């Protein structure tokens, strides 16, 4: 369901050849809550129940699985029906987020929130090792490319992994996986291959992850938010190199200039 077969014409140095290949699937999946359409999510149609639960949690529409009566993917796999034990008021303001998949958030990205309280730190060797393991875990990406991979980790290893065409969807899937398995979210390390924009940082803060490590770049607003929320934000973690944009006090051995 996550792979679309395709005939591809390859060009290289003046010659062409046709081969069978594959592409990542992207579809719109409608999330309904208590019988009402909430949002359309452009996503890779895997871990759909986890995506729905994680999205609701990260958008602060639920605080845990104890509020969820049922989660069901419809037969067409084009919608996920979530029923809660209570009514939910959907915020009127939606923000279209940057990046692939055109994500949506109800979060006021500039709302003042308390800084994250955590003693979690990492070493440079752990940063390098964890990012290498994330790339090794990107099984679907190696098959079709065009996907983002994210993971929640402890200092020495990955705990859960999710892949999707939308980088924000990967984080929601991780949250949903942990919630449905009754695993803690707080004091984990969030790893991602995608750019860390503001809504990605807000999701990390909601999940209580004090360290965010990306293969790519942060944005200006995500750096501001990371500094306000006491989160280490590390970008361009490639090979044995990385850049620390905020929260250097959480990286052992580095001087804190933030």
Give me the pLDDT at residue 92, please. Answer: 58
d(CA 73, CA 88): 20
The yes-or-no answer on residue 178 being catalytic is: no
Q: What is the pLDDT of residues 204-258, one digit of tens each?
A: 999 999 999 999 999 999 999 999 999 999 999 999 999 999 999 999 987 644 4
Give me the pLDDT at residue 121, please. Answer: 97
Sorted by sequence, the CB contacts under 8 Å of residue 75 that are 6+ apart come out as none
Q: In the structure, what pLDDT confidence band is assigned to residue 156 with cuts at 50, 70 and 90?
A: confident
pTM to 2 decimals?
A: 0.90
Domains of the chain, earliest start first: 27-105 (3.10.20.10), 124-250 (3.40.140.10)
Q: Which of 27, 4, 23 is nearest to 169 (CA)?
A: 27
Q: Specify burial of residue 9 (Cβ count, 10 A radius: 0-12, 13-18, 19+).
A: exposed
d(CA 232, CA 68): 32
Q: What is the pLDDT of residues 103-141, one digit of tens each?
A: 566 555 556 689 999 999 999 999 999 999 999 999 999
> Measured in whole angstroms, how far is the alpha carbon of residue 155 from the centre of its chain?
19
Q: In the structure, what pLDDT confidence band is assigned to residue 94 with cuts at 50, 70 and 90?
A: low
Q: In the structure, what pLDDT confidence band is assigned to residue 89 with cuts at 50, 70 and 90?
A: confident
Tokens of 197: 């924009």
Q: Which of 173, 207, 170 is nearest to 187 (CA)?
A: 207
Residue 31 CB neighbour total at 10 angstroms = 20
Give me the pLDDT at residue 43, please. Answer: 93
Coil/strand/helix, residue 166: coil
Q: What is the pLDDT of residues 164-202, one digit of tens each?
A: 999 999 999 999 999 999 999 999 999 999 999 999 999
Catalytic residue among 79, 100, 160, 178: 100
Give me the pLDDT at residue 95, please. Answer: 44
Q: What is the pLDDT of residues 31-88, one digit of tens each?
A: 999 999 898 999 999 999 999 999 999 999 999 999 999 999 998 889 999 999 999 8
């Amino acid at each position: 369901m996550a792979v679309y077969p395709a005939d591809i014409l390859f060009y290289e140095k003046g010659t062409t050849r046709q081969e069978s290949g594959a592409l990542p699937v992207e579809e719109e999946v409608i999330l309904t809550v208590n019988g009402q359409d909430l949002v359309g999510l452009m996503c890779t149609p895997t871990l759909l129940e986890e995506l729905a639960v994680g999205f609701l949690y990260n958008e602060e529409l639920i605080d845990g699985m104890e509020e969820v009566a049922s989660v069901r993917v419809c037969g067409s796999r084009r919608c996920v029906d979530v029923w809660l034990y209570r009514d939910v008021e959907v915020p009127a303001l939606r923000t279209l987020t940057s990046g692939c998949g055109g994500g949506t958030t109800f979060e006021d990205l500039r709302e003042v929130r308390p800084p994250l309280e955590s003693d979690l730190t990492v070493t440079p060797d752990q940063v390098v090792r964890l990012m290498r393991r994330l790339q090794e875990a990107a099984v679907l990406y190696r098959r079709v490319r065009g996907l983002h991979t994210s993971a929640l980790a402890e200092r020495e290893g990955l705990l859960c992994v999710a892949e999707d065409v939308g980088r924000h969807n990967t984080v929601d899937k991780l949250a949903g996986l942990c919630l449905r398995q009754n695993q803690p979210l707080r004091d984990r390390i969030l790893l991602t291959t995608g750019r860390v924009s503001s809504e990605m940082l807000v999701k990390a803060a909601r999940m209580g992850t004090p360290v965010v490590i990306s293969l790519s770049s942060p944005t200006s607003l995500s750096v501001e938010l990371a500094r306000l929320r006491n989160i280490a934000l590390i970008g361009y973690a490639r090979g044995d190199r990385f850049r620390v944009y905020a929260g250097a006090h959480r990286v052992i051995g580095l001087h804190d200039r933030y």
